[in-house]
A = this chain, B = another copy of it.
Amino acid sequence: MVEESGGLDALETPCLLLDSDRLKANVAAMRARLDGLGVVLRPHLKTAKSRDVARIAMASEAGPATVSTLREAEYFAEGGVRDLIYAVGIAPQKLERVGRIRRAWRTDLAIILDSVEQAQAVADWSRRNGDRLPVLIEVDADGHRSGVTPQDSARLVAIGRVLAEGASLRGVLLHAGDSYGLSDPGALRAAAEAERTAAVTAAATLRDAGLPCPVVSVGSTPTARYADRLDGITEVRAGVFMIGDLFQAGVGSCAVDDIALTVLATVIGHQREKGWIITDAGWMALSRDRGTARQAVDQGYGVACDRAGRPYPDLIVRDANQEHGILAVRTGSAAALPDLPVGARLRILPNHACATGAQHDRYHEIAGGHLTGAVWPRINGW
């Protein structure tokens, strides 16, 4: 790896560094994998929330893509994306804003829901506004959160009929969120197959009732990474795969060396008797996410790396306050604490790219091991 050229010293810390070589490699690998399985990638843009990243992740500047907020839908539609799914259950109050986005940027923004009452609200809105909103029925892949169970044919068909009559029934959508709790490759393959089966079952139920179901959309980074086959699926939504993080490395969805995001930090003190190095990257910069605490290897608030992004042996962010990160060698390790004086710069690999990214408003691009000087804005909020 090429050493960075010193540009890191000019940045205010804490800030985000995004390695676009890794980002591009992660996208290429996922695209090749899904091409081989015969499905379209509809990347979820909720991790990066950046048009620059979206352009790398999407098949074309027009999409397709997935978003988690209407603010993202506006931002990406304004940036030229024309094919979006807002993949969080719709509330009736949000339909006006959905309609505005569809009109303002002629964007095919689809929504999701899992109840007859929501379907009725969407059908009513569609009739009143002369815009048949495209809707996917959310199906519950694994009991993780929302969705109609695939066995509940009566509810699926009831929702489908309301939508087909009063709006536009586009298909079914699932997210195998429980796969985040796995780490065994066999179990991950089984979770992917369960997600596929649930999707295909729900789609068949609609079609058997004479209803359309052109889109069969599944997706989570772990199941996208481990699916053996995706027969009957038309598209995969996955997002965090493009950046990666320590949690996904713990699941087995990526390697630590694939992680494209780090937080640049500066040493601001020491407690030498305790073996602590204090930095200016606390939980405000890293996020409060402690997802790795439930995994085989607890990474604290993140793994400390040198300026080139190479992890220091067993050096983690053992604790964090709002603007202080406390680095220490992992309990039980004999690794030496690196000699990092006040003012030294280092990089922290995040537990959860979605959460860490959201604490910041921009990325500094690294390519070929150097800062390129490019700053990629990102959005937050709703």
Contact = CB atoms under 8 A, between A and B. Distances in A.
Contacts of A361: 380-381
A92 B342 contact: yes
Contact of A91 (B68, B143, B267): B267
Interface in A98-123: 113-115, 117-118, 121
A89 interface: yes
> Mostly helix, strand, loop or mixed at chain A's interface?
loop
Interface stretch (A124-132, A183-191, A316-324, A363-371): A316-324
A289 B266 CA distance: 24
Given A145-B324, A177-B321, A288-B290, A91 B343 contact: yes
A140 B177 CA distance: 43
A285 B381 CA distance: 8
B269 A342 contact: no
A341 interface: yes
A268 interface: yes
Interface stretch (A12-20, A200-208, A227-235): A12-20
B343 A92 contact: yes
Nearest to A356: B288
Interface in A72-96: 88-94
A271 B288 CA distance: 28
A9 interface: yes
Contact of A145 (B14, B70, B278): B278
Interface residues of A, number: 65
A355 B285 CA distance: 11
Given A268-B89, A290-B290, A278 B146 contact: yes
Nearest to A272: B115
Given A118-B342, A322-B354, A382 B88 contact: no
Max chain B CB contacts within 10 Å: which of A91, A138, A287? A91
Contacts of A319: 145
Nearest to A324: B145
Interface in A341-357: 341-343, 352, 354-355
A146 B13 CA distance: 18
Contacts of A177: 321
A175 to B, nearest CB: 9
Contacts of A94: 12, 266
A40 interface: no
A91 B288 contact: no
Nearest to A239: B322
The listed residue with most B CB atoms (<10 A of its CB), out of A140, A266, A271, A289, is: A271
A269 B114 contact: yes
Contacts of A195: none
A280 interface: yes
6 contacts: A89-B268, A93-B266, A118-B342, A121-B343, A146-B324, A283-B355
Given A15-B382, A145-B276, 20 more contacts: A12-B70, A13-B91, A13-B93, A13-B382, A14-B382, A46-B322, A68-B322, A68-B323, A89-B269, A90-B268, A92-B342, A92-B343, A115-B270, A117-B342, A121-B342, A283-B355, A288-B352, A358-B359, A360-B381, A361-B381
Interface of A: 9, 12-15, 46, 68-70, 88-94, 97, 113-115, 117-118, 121, 138, 140, 143, 145-146, 177, 266-271, 274, 276, 278, 280, 283-285, 287-290, 319, 321-324, 326, 341-343, 352, 354-355, 358-361, 380-382
Task: Kindly list the 8 A-B residue pairs having the minimum CB-CB distance in the complex, ordered from nearest.
Answer: A288-B288, A89-B268, A89-B269, A288-B289, A91-B266, A68-B323, A92-B343, A88-B323
